[in-house]
Structure 1
Amino acid sequence: MTHRFAVHVYYEDTDLAGIVYYANYLKFIERARTEWVRDLGVDQMRLKEEEGLVFAVRRLEAEYLAPAKFDDDLTVETTLDTLGGARIVLAQVVSRGEERLFEAKVTLVALSGSGQPARLPAIIRRNLH
């Protein structure tokens, strides 16, 4: 199951050369993960309020393959790699058409209100199978 999220590159996303600033790829994939979770039927604010659970990035591996530029239309694809008791590992790819520009492997953990790892909510486990 691959989730797709469209991103348009605005002037504010670029550096003086008109190339997407490297840290903005992290913003693009964060937005895509937020929409992925929403599309799974999870309201993150309700999850925090009712169960005291939040998600945090535990680890991120990134590879910059080619530059995106001002006014490009990009797609962020998010795919489940691994599902654990308290963690989710996602593969995320930012592309322009068929060209891969950026790849990341992101490890997310569910955390309790005290900041300790917590079991993933049943709704997420159910919707990922």
Structure 2
Amino acid sequence: MHSHSIRVYYEDTDLAGIVYYANYLKFIERARSEFLREIGVDQVALKRDAGVVFAVRRVEIDYVAPAVFDDLLIVATTVTHIGGARVTLQQNVLRGADVLVRSVVTIAALQENGRPARMPQNLRIAMAKAGE
């Protein structure tokens, strides 16, 4: 499991003072980018050298409880499935031990022309190790 800290800023909140629902998508996106960086994936080099980019294929999200200004959140990312061209991640947003948001995100590997691409073997291995 990978953990990424996020501080809630005023700009993340709505008129009610809680995190605007769409901002959780930004939070989990940042955590995915940091997860890839931590397991040694350079997305710029992956595009340049293998012609592979990632795109979100599907997101399921369940808003359990609100976060508010100045909360320190943790986005916990766990690999749940690795295929040839797709990976599925469980990404939970927590405040302490409390789960605020549960999400399941499917990421697709694509060629630059938008067609599916097989993920390089070393990338699948790195993700599998991170998921252990």
Write the deviation string for residues 5-64 of structure 1: whole angstroms up to 9, x where unpaired. 000000000011210000000000000000000011010011111111100000110000
Return structure 1 stretches of 4+ with deviation > 4 angstroms.
none
| Aligned residue number for residue 19 of structure 2 | 20
TM-score normalised over the length of structure 2: 0.95
TM-score normalised over the length of structure 1: 0.97
Write the deviation string for residues 88-110 of structure 1: whole angstroms up to 9, x where unpaired. 00000000001100010000010
| Aligned residue number for residue 88 of structure 1 | 87
| Aligned residue number for residue 7 of structure 1 | 6
Q: Which runs of 5+ in 1 are unaligned?
A: none
Shift of the alpha carbon at 1:74?
A: 0.3
Instruction: Provide the identity percentage.
Output: 57
Shift of the alpha carbon at 1:87?
A: 0.2
Distance 1:51 1:83 in 2: 18
- Code of the aligned partner of 1:39: E
RMSD: 0.7
Distance 2:119 2:64 in 1: 32
Distance 1:28 1:57 in 2: 14
Q: Which runs of 5+ in 2 are unaligned?
A: none
